Amino acid sequence: MIYTFSDPAFLDDPSAQLARMRADGPVVKVRIPIVGAIWMTTTDEAARKLLKSPEIFRRDPEPITGKSLARQFWWMPSSIKPMLNTMIVQDDPAHKRQRRLVELAFARATIEDLRPRIEGMADRLLDDLSGDPVDIVRQYTRRLPFLAICALLGIPDAAHDSLTRRIAPLSHVTNPLSAIRAVLSLRGVHRDFRALFAEARAEPPGPGLISALVHTEEDGDSLSEDEILSLTLLLFLAGHETSVHLINNAIVALCEASDLRAHFKAHPETRNLMIEEFVRHASPVMVTKAMFAAEDTDILGAPIKKGEMVTAGLIAANHDPARVDNPGAFQPERRPNAHLGFGFGPHVCLGMQLARIETEVALDRLVARHPDLALARPVTWMKRPGLRGPASVHLNLAG
C-alpha cells in the first residue's frame, strides 16, 4: 500500500493512519508530489537509525546515481539553482564545513538577544489587527516570523515591503502554476540579497546574521556568495514556514481546549515545555528531505535497495507509542519529551531556537491581549507537501 498525507481526515487526526503504517512495518511507501513514491520510516527507532547513518543514507545523489540535483533538474531556471546546493542537500565533508562556518556566524548573532525586538514586533502587529473575525494568519502569524528573520539577518526596514511581495509566492506552492510564479519571484529576491551582501562586505562587521556570514572566516576558509545566498533563502523558506505552522497549530490548540489556554496563562515558568509539546503533537514538519541509500541495506530488517529514496517520518516518530506515553494526548508539561520535530543528527534544524522564541512570544502576546479568543470557523488544512498546518485561522478575539 502507498500512503499519502493529503487527506484532511489524516491532517485533522493522524493517529489512525500512523497506527496502520506502523503495523505495516518500520518503513512504508508514501507518495510525495513531484518526487513520487518513496520509503518513509514509521517509528522513532527507525527514524533515528536513518538520521544517524549519514554514511549510508546520503543527501546528495551524485555519488550513488551519477547525477547531482542540479543535473537532475537541469531544466529549472537559474533562480532555483541555489536551493539545489544548500546545506540540507549536502553530505560531509561539504556539509560539515559549511555548517561549521554558519554556526560561527550564528554564535555572533545571538538568538535570545532578539526576544525584546520580537516582542515589540508582536505588539505592533496586534495593535493593527482588524476585522471580525480576524484573519490571524494573514495579519499576525505569517508576518511575525518574517519580521523576526529580517531582524536576525539585519535586513533594513525599508526593504521589507519589497521582500514580502517577492517571498509571498513561495509560501503558496501547491501546483505547477503556483510553482512557476514562485520561481519567477526568486529573481528579484536574489538581486535584493546580493545587494545586501555587497553592502555588508563593504562595511566592518556589524549586527545581523548577513554581516556575520560575509565576514566569518576560519583558517582562511569562508562562505562563498552563493553559499550565503542559499542559506539566506533556506531561512526564509524552511525556517519561516516551520515557525508559521507551529504558531498556527498552537493557536488552534489553545482555542479548542480552554484548559490548555488556562494552563498557558497560569504557568509561564513551564511554557518552554508546552512549546516542545506543540512541536511534538502537531509535527508541522512531517517528514525530512528524502535521502538516497548508498548501498543495499535495511532499516530494522526492512530491506532498502541502493539508490532508493527514504525519508524520516517525523510525525510518525513523534506519535510512536513505543517511545511516547499516550502520544495522542497533549501534555503541557510532558517530561521527557525527546521529540524529533526539529530533526536529529548532523542536519538538526539550525533555526530551532528562533522558532521556539517566536512561538512563545506570539502566543504570550496574543493570549495576554485576547484571553477569550475562539475559532470563528472550522479549521481547513493547507496542501503543502510534507507540512501540517491550517490554511487559515479566523478568530473571534472576544470569545
How much of the chain is in helix, strand and coil states, percent to nearest 5?
55, 10, 30
Residue 287 backbone phi and psi in degrees, to 5: -140, 160
Strand partners, 30: 3, 38
Task: State how far the alpha carbon of 98 is from the alpha carbons of 64, 217, 231, 232, in Å.
Answer: 22, 11, 10, 13
What pLDDT digit, counting tens, does each position of 124-176 carry?
999 999 988 999 999 999 999 999 999 999 998 888 888 877 776 666 555 55
For the four alpha carbons of 313, 394, 275 and 20, in that order, the dihedral sign comes to negative
Calpha distance 395→193 (Å, rounded):
35
What pLDDT digit, counting tens, does each position of 1-59 carry?
899 988 888 999 999 999 999 999 999 999 988 788 999 999 999 999 999 999 999 99
And the C-alpha cell for 203? 562595511
Q: Residue 122 belongs to a domain with what CATH number?
A: 1.10.630.10
Mean pLDDT score across all residues of the chain: 90
DSSP H/E element including 12 = helix 8-12
Beta strand 27-32 pairing with 2-3: parallel
Provide the whole-model pTM. Answer: 0.92
Note down the domain range covering 52: 2-396
pLDDT at 183: 65
Q: How many domains does the chain have?
A: 1
Using alpha carbons only, what angle is made at residue 210 by residues 208 and 211, rounded to the nearest 5 degrees?
Answer: 70
Q: Does pLDDT of 340 surpass 80?
A: yes
